[in-house]
């Protein structure tokens, strides 16, 4: 289940920072996915409130 999308679409080559507003999210483990140039990277993050 997708709970948030921080950005959709193309970006020019650069460094970007995104902030996830998790104020309404429950504590737990979440996964985030980054796709670039045909590569996909999935990482997990633990949200502790």
**pLDDT at site 16:** 94
Reference 18, options 26, 9, 27; nearest CA is 9
Q: What angle do CA 16, 19, 22 make, to 5 degrees?
A: 155
- Token pair, residue 26, equals 């429950």
pTM given for the model: 0.77
- Domain ranges within the chain, ordered by starting residue: 1-7+19-48
**pLDDT at site 30:** 97
Give the pLDDT confidence of 7-39 residue by residue, as tens digits.
999 999 899 999 999 999 999 999 999 998 899
Residue with structure tokens 């948030």?
4
């Amino acid at each position: 289940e997708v709970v948030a999308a921080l950005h959709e679409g193309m970006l020019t080559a650069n460094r970007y920072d995104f902030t996830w507003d998790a104020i309404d999210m429950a504590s737990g483990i979440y996964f985030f996915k980054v796709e670039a140039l045909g590569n996909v990277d999935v990482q997990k993050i633990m949200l502790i409130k």
